[in-house]
């Protein structure tokens, strides 16, 4: 190669480096796509949309949603894992889809969950009601007004009480089966592909009898008297619901204290982009409008959002669920 050729080659290399560097530092370079593993209207969808507005303002880019319900979150998980790993596709999942599904339904997945998907950060913690319908709960007797009433009816009518969940392996399904095992009752499982919005609708209509539900969505139904909170999975009673006892108070200590929601990305997304997204979420958590929305919904910003090792936190969370399921002897058919 002659001197002129060598100079031209160096110039082209420098130009290539110069054009690549801004591309890596200009994230995001296009709208951000967020996959939600449920139909619109449930807790996970609500949390996703609260954060999306802050991401729009922080990045100056559009954020659009794709609701991908189905298979206990596997549909959304697999699509996220297979997306181009450039940080422009994220998933907002929760304790069911991203904590329990990988433990209980791993053989149904066509991906390696821990190898193909990574957690970006936890986004919200939410106390959970154990709700009962007040509509046609029993043919003759009034709906139970206390958790003790519910247990008495369930024991007297094995298999007749229907509970709703977001599907096999979901938080509601596993937590209900754990509760049923400890209480010595048998309940009928009714899964809902669409998640929370469908569950609360049918609970209010009396098509199902009970379910676990975050404290954000059923407020309207509670005020209308169509559903009643019999207990709450929380460390202590909530100030806004002082008459609702904790599970420990009604005789079931050690049950899960809250649900969580978190952001995920394909595993191949570069660490610097993951960190950029993480910082954007942390910035959003400090915005008064988001904090006010959380307070109205009874949600809290999770302390684990500031952890240096969110992957380790998620592994511990999944291991804890695995122990709980094995201890109570629950198996999930695949």
* Helix 147-156 and helix 171-183, axial crossing angle in degrees, nearest 10: 70
DSSP 159: T
pLDDT tens for each residue of 58-95: 999 999 999 999 888 999 999 999 999 999 999 999 99
**DSSP tag of 300:** B
What average pLDDT does range 200-218 have in this prediction?
Answer: 88
Contact 119, 278 (CB under 8 A): no
Please list, in sequence order, all residues whose beta carbon lies within 8 angstroms of the beta carbon of residue 196, skipping any fewer than 6 positions away. Answer: 38, 41, 42, 43, 44, 166, 213, 214, 217
CA distance 88 to 31: 7
Q: pLDDT digits over 44-53, tens only? A: 999 999 999 9
Q: What is the DSSP letter of 137?
A: S
The model's pLDDT over 26-67, given as tens digits with 9 standing for 90+, comes to 899 999 999 999 888 888 999 999 999 999 999 999 999 999
- In DSSP notation, 215-277 reads SSSTHHHHHTTSEEEEEEESSS-BTTBTTS-BTTTTT-TTS---EEEEEEEETTS-HHHHHHH
Residues 6 or more apart whose Cβ sits within 8 Å of residue 203: 131, 133, 164, 209, 210, 211, 213, 218, 221, 227
Nearest to 320 by CA among 99, 147, 117: 99
The residue length of the chain stands at 334
pLDDT at 26: 87
Write down the pLDDT at residue 303: 84
Helix (H) or strand (E) holding 67: strand 63-67
- Structure confidence at residue 333 (pLDDT): 54
Task: Specify the pLDDT at position 331.
Answer: 67
Rounded CA-CA distance 299/96 in Å is: 17
Letter string b/e over residues 313-327, b meaning 16 or more CB atoms within 10 A of that residue's CB: bbeebbeebeebbee
């Amino acid at each position: 190669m002659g001197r002129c050729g060598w100079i031209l080659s160096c110039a082209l290399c420098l130009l290539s480096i110069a054009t690549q560097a801004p591309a890596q530092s200009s994230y995001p370079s296009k709208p951000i796509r967020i996959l939600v593993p449920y139909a619109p209207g449930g807790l996970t969808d609500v949390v996703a949309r609260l954060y999306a507005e802050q991401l729009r303002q922080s990045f100056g880019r559009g954020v659009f949603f794709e609701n991908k319900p189905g298979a206990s979150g596997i549909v959304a998980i697999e699509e996220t894992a297979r997306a181009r790993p450039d940080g422009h596709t994220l998933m907002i999942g929760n304790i069911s889809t991203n904590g329990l599904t990988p433990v209980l339904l791993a053989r149904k997945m066509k991906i390696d969950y821990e190898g193909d998907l990574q957690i970006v950060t936890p986004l919200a913690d939410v106390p959970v009601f154990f709700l009962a319908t007040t509509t046609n709960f029993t043919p003759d007797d009034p709906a139970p007004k206390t958790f003790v009433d519910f247990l008495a009816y369930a024991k007297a009518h094995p298999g007749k009480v229907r509970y709703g969940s977001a599907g096999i392996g979901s938080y509601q399904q596993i937590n209900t089966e754990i509760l049923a095992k400890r209480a010595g009752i048998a309940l009928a499982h009714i899964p809902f592909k669409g998640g929370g919005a469908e569950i609360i609708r049918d609970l209010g209509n009396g098509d199902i009898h009970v379910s676990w539900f975050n404290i954000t969505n059923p407020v309207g139904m509670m005020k209308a008297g169509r559903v009643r909170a019999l207990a709450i999975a929380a460390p202590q009673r909530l100030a806004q619901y002082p008459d609702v006892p904790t599970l420990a108070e009604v005789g079931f200590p050690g049950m899960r204290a809250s649900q969580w929601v978190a952001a995920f990305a394909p595993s191949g997304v570069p660490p610097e982009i993951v960190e950029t997204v993480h910082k954007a979420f942390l910035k959003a958590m400090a915005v008064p409008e988001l904090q006010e929305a959380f307070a109205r919904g009874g949600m809290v910003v999770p302390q684990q959002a500031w952890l240096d090792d969110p992957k380790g936190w998620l592994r511990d969370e999944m291991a804890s669920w695995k122990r709980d399921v094995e201890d109570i002897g629950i198996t999930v058919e695949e």
